[in-house]
Amino acid sequence: MHLHLIRHPTPLIDTGICYGRVDCPAENAVSAAAMLLAKLPAGLPVWTSPLIRCRALAAKLHPQPIIDHRLAEMHFGDWEGQRWEDIPRAELDAWAADVAGYTPPGGESPRDLQRRALDFVASLDVPEAVIVTHAGVIRTLLAHWQGLPPERWTELNFAYGSCTVVDVPR
């Protein structure tokens, strides 16, 4: 299966804020969509995260994008909307010590995010698709497919509005 994994445009939120599930808008999706449409094959189905920063772009890529909650960004629980510097240092250190397994209070772990993202991909029954989602989703998927250990997951970075193309074996 040939997947076009697209990260949403730059979110309109103050820098330094933890915003996994915070439903903030993003910069103008029109220009990002124009750039992407010039590179994407025409007529592909588009799936999107339910968060507006993804949905707005997906709507410019396809007249009827399919919303799937499994494509939402990681749920940071009690950290959502907080400044990173205000999150207790001990909690951030615990996450750094267990990148994949640590669950922020009231949230989900990156490993949980990876499981639901892989479940989404396994449910696809198309030869090629566009997926508009978040860096966390793309990171955990590629880490799985590349066999990266959790301590290397943070090496995978994706620019806002970028498209990463991957062939996933069936």
Here the CATH number for the domain that contains residue 67 is 3.40.50.1240
In a domain, 123, yes or no: yes
- Residue 85: domain span: 2-164
Name the domain count of the chain.
Answer: 1
The residue-averaged pLDDT of 43-64 equals 97
* Strand blocks (E) in the chain: 2-7, 46-48, 66-67, 128-133, 163-167
Q: Report whether pLDDT(116) > 90.
A: yes
Q: Would you say residue 98 lies in a domain? A: yes
Residue 5 has pLDDT above 90, yes or no: yes
Residue 169 has a pLDDT of 83
Asked if residue 169 is part of any domain, the answer here is: no
Under 8 Å between Cβ of 33 and 57: yes
* Domain presence at residue 46: yes
170 lies in a domain?
no
3-state secondary structure of 27: coil
Checking if the pLDDT of 170 tops 90, the result is: no
What's the predicted TM-score (pTM) here? 0.95
Is 22 a domain residue?
A: yes
**How much is the average pLDDT of 148-156?**
92
> Taking residues 162-170, what's their average pLDDT?
93
Whether 144 is covered by a domain: the verdict is: yes
Q: What is the mean pLDDT of the chain?
A: 96
Q: For strand 2-7 and strand 163-167, is the pairing parallel, antiparallel, or unpaired?
A: antiparallel
Residue 130 lies in a domain: yes
